[in-house]
Chains A and B, each alone.
Chain A
Amino acid sequence: MTARMIDLHSESVCRIFSKFLDRKVAHQDKIRQTDFALARGVYEHYFGATDAASFERFFNLVLAHQALSAHEQTLELATFLLAENLKPNLSEQELDKILGSPCIYTTIHMGSYRLINFFLAHRGVDLCLMVTPNVYQKQARVFIETYRQWGLNGRFTVLNSDDPISIRKCLRLIRDGYSVLLYLDGNSGVGGMNRRDESLISISFLHKKILARKGAAFLSALAKVPIVPVITTRNSVRRYDLDFHDAIQPAGRTEDEIFAATQKIFDIFSSVVERYPDQWEAWLYLYKWVSIELRKKDAGAQACSPEAQCIAQFNFADHEILRYGSTAALLHKPTMTTTLLSDQQHDLLRQHFKPGFIRCAPPDSGSTDLADMARRFISEGVLLANPSQLDLASPAFLGATD
C-alpha cells in the first residue's frame, strides 16, 4: 500500500509540475492572462519588479501547487500523506496539550493546506470551518460528507462567514467544545472577499501593508480562547511540514489589542510566505486585498514629450491590459487601478506590444485622432518612447523558446 502510494504521489507531483512548467501565458485564455497580470502586479508590489519570463515561472509554480493541493484531498492520498508525509513540529504531548481544548486555528492557503482539516479531524478535534458564502453554498455539504466518510468520531460543522450571526454561532460552538479553523488570506469573513469597511485593518505584511480582517482576534477576545497559527509547507516530495506556532493568548477588545493580535498572526504568515512564496495560492486573488492601500499612492507616471515621429512600446513594467469578455481595461500596476479602454485605444496599445513607429500630434492641437491618443499615452507613461527601455521580455514574446 505504502510503496504504491509513494509511486502514485511521486508520479502525480511530476505530472502536475511538468504540465504547469510547460505552460506559456501567451498561449492561455484571456482570463488566465488577466490572472497573470494581476498577480504580477501584486507580487511586484511586495517583492519588487520582475520580468515577465521570470514571473511566468513563478506563476506556473503557484498554479502547480494549487493543482497539487486539490489533487491531494482525495481520501486515499490524504490518508497516505497524513501517515507518511506530514510532520508536525510538536511532540505528541505538546500536540495533545494544544489540541485538547478549544482554540482558533488560523492559517493560509499555503502548501498542502487542506491537510490541516484532515489532521485536526484525525486527532479528534471538534472542528468548525468558516467559509465564504460561495464556498458554503457549493461545498459545505461536500465537506461534511467527506468528513463522514473519514469515519471519525469528532464533530464537524461548516459556517457561512456571511451569516450576520456567524460570530454568535461560533461562540456557542466554542462553548460547546469546538475549535474554529479560519483561512485568513482573503476568501472568508463577513461581507466576502471584496468587502471594504471598518472591520478591515491595515497591517504590516512582507514589509508593506495589507488589509486584514480582525475577526480572528475579535473572536479570540470574545470567547477567551487562544489563537494558534498553523501552516503547512511542502519541504520536499516526501516531507510536508505542519508548523504550529506559539499560541497568541486572548487579549482585550480595544482597537490596539485587536490590531496587535492580528499583526502577530500576519507576522508569522509573512515570514512563511517570504520563504515559500510559490506555495501561497493567494497570489491569484491577493489584488483584492491590496488595492486600497496602493490607490493611496502617487501613480508617478513617466511624463514625456514625444517627438512627432518616434519609436514606442507598451510599458509592460507599469501596465497590463486586462480582458473581461469583450471589454478591455488598462491596469496601472503601481496603483493597481484600472481604466476602461475603447476598442480604438485597445488596438493602438496592442499594436505596440512590439516596439514600432508611432505618429504623435503636437500638444493642444485639438486633434482627436490616433496621433493625439498616442501623444497622451506617451505623456502618461503607458507607451514608452525611449528605446533604452524597450522590453525584450514582454509577455508578447513569452512564446519564444530558449
Chain B
Amino acid sequence: MDRLMNSYLTELLAKHELVQSHSFSQLPVEVRDSVSRSFVALRHFFTGMSHERAAILVRRIIFSSMWSSLDVRGDFLPWFIARTTLRSLPGAQVIDKQHPAIFFGCHIEAYKLVPAMLTRLGYKLLVPVSPELLQGELGAGLVRTNELARENHWAGHLDLVDAGDRNVLGRMIKHVRKGGSIFVYPDGNSGTGGISRRDEKLSEVDFLETRLRVRKGIAAIAWFTGLGLTPVKCERLSSVDREIVVYPTLATPDRNMERDRYLDNAMQQVFDFLAGQVHIDPGVWESSLYALQWVVPARVNSSPPGTGALANEAETSAAVVQINQSGFELARFSDGSFLVDVQGLRFIKLNEFDAQLATELFKPKSLSSLNHEQRASVNALFEIGAIEVDRFPEFS
C-alpha cells in the first residue's frame, strides 16, 4: 500500500510541477482556449477580480482538474473507494439504498469520485454522460466502478446513458420510478444539444454576479418523480483522504406550484448551491473552464465608451494612456487575440498589430511616444472604453 501511495503522490507532484512551471502561452492550443475562457469567466463572475488573481485561480483549477482525474484512474480508484468516508450534514436525507434519490454534484474538488462512491453505498445509479467523456478518465473510472461492483459483489450498480440522447429524460424518469437513483452534474458540459445550446427551453438563473442559461432536465426529473434534489460533494481532506458530504435535499416538488415555475425555482436552488460552493473557493471549480458559454449575454454595466477623438487632439499629445485593466482582459484564442470587456462580455477581435499594442498598453504609455498608426488604434480602443487616460496604474 505504501508503494501505491508513493506512486500516487509522485504523480500528483508531477502534475503540480507541470501546472506551476509552464506559462499559459506554452499550453497546447485547445487547453489555452479553455484557459482564456476561464480568465474571462472568473473576472465576469467575480466583479473586481484582478488579472493576477484570476491567473492564480486558473492554475489551481487546472491542477484540481488533473488531480480529480488521477483519483479515478484504474489503479487508484479501488484504493480511494476504500479510503473515502461519508458525512451527512444535519437535515440531509439518510443514505438509504432502498429508496431512490436524485443526486447532483458540481465539478468541484474530487467530484469524479462521487458516482463511484454512491455505487459503493449500494445505489443503482444511472448517470448521463456524453460519449466523448466516456473516452476520458471519468468514463474509464465509471467503467472501472462497475467492474469493482461485480468483483466485490456490491449491491450497487452504475449504468450510463448518453446525455445527448433525445430520450434521456424519459429513461431517467423511468429508472427512478423503478426504484433506481440518478446522479447528474448540472454544471457539466454535456447534455441534450451540447454545451452551446441556446433555446427557449433553458432556464435562466442568477449565479454569483451574473445570469446563466441552464438546462433544467434534473428539475424535470424531480417534478415527474416527486423527489427532491440532493447535493453531494467529495472533499479532499488530505492528499489521500476523501469525504463524501451529503447536503439537505432541495426543491422537493410542490404540486400547488405551476410546473414551469417549479422548474425555474428548482434550478435556481441548484445554482444557489453551486454559487455557495464556488464562492468558498473558485480555484477548485473545473466548470469555470467552459461556464462562460452559459452566461446570458445582455449586461448593462459594461465599461462606458470614451467620447471624442482622443488621439487627434493636439493638446492631449502628452496624455498617459493604458488599457482599462479593471474592465478588460486580453484573451488569446486559437482564432486570434481578443480584448474582452469582462463585465459586458464584448469580445473585440484584434489584428496582430493591435494585439501587440494592447499588450504594451498594460503599462502606461505617453501618447506622444506612439506613432500615427498606434495612435489611431488607441483612438479606436478609447471609443469602446478600453483605454484609460491619465490614470495611474491601480491595484484591485
* Residues of A bordering B, CB below 8 Å: 3, 6-7, 9-11, 13-14, 17-18, 21-22, 51, 53-54, 56-58, 61, 64-65, 234, 236-239, 277-278, 309-311, 354-357, 385-388, 390, 392-393, 397, 400-402
Decide: A237 and B391 in contact? CB cutoff 8 A: yes
| A57 close to B395 (CB less than 8 A) | yes
Partner of B55, one of A13, A277, A402: A402
Q: A237 is contacted by which of B24, B239, B320 (Cβ under 8 Å)?
A: B320
B368 contacts the other chain (Cβ, under 8 Å)? Answer: yes
Which A residue sits closest to B366, measured CB to CB?
A10
Which chain B residues in 206-247 approach chain A with CB under 8 Å?
A: 236-239
**With A and B bound together, what is the CA distance between A17 and B391 in angstroms?**
12
The total of chain B residues at the interface (CB under 8 A) is: 45
Of B11-19, B155-163, B180-188, B342-350, which stretch is located at the interface?
Answer: B11-19
User: Would you list 22 pairs from A and B whose C-beta atoms are within 8 A, ordered by A residue?
Assistant: A3-B318, A6-B318, A11-B318, A11-B366, A13-B366, A14-B320, A14-B363, A17-B363, A17-B393, A18-B364, A53-B52, A54-B53, A236-B390, A237-B319, A237-B320, A239-B390, A311-B12, A311-B239, A387-B238, A392-B56, A402-B24, A402-B55
B21 lies within 8 A of A10 (CB): no
Q: In the complex, which of the residues A14, A51, A238, A311 contacts B13, with contact meaning CB atoms closer than 8 Å?
A: A311
Cβ distance A392 to chain B, nearest Cβ, rounded Å: 4
> In the complex, what residues of A have CB within 8 A of residue B52's CB?
51, 53-54, 56-57
B interface residues with partner A (beta carbon < 8 Å): 2, 5-6, 9-10, 12-13, 16-17, 19-25, 50, 52-53, 55-56, 59-60, 63, 67, 236-239, 317-320, 363-366, 368-369, 390-395
B342 to nearest A CB, angstroms?
16
Assess the B239–A392 pair: CB atoms within 8 A: no
Using Cβ atoms and an 8 Å threshold, which residues of chain A touch B21?
A: 397, 400
Contact A277-B17, Cβ < 8 Å, known A14-B364, A21-B363: no
* Chain A: CB-nearest residue to B319: A10
Pair A387/B55 contact, Cβ less than 8 Å: no
Q: How far is the CB of B395 from chain A (nearest CB, A)?
A: 5
Please name all residues of chain A whose beta carbon is closer than 8 Å to the beta carbon of B395 when the two chains form the complex.
Answer: 54, 57-58, 61, 277-278
**Can you list the 10 inter-chain pairs with the closest CB atoms, starting with the nearest?**
A237-B390, A393-B56, A10-B318, A387-B239, A18-B363, A236-B390, A54-B52, A392-B59, A10-B366, A6-B318
Most buried by B among A54, A309, A354: A54
Give Cα A56 to B56, complex, Å. 13
Q: Please report the C-alpha to C-alpha distance between residue A275 and residue B369 in the assembled complex, in whole angstroms.
A: 31
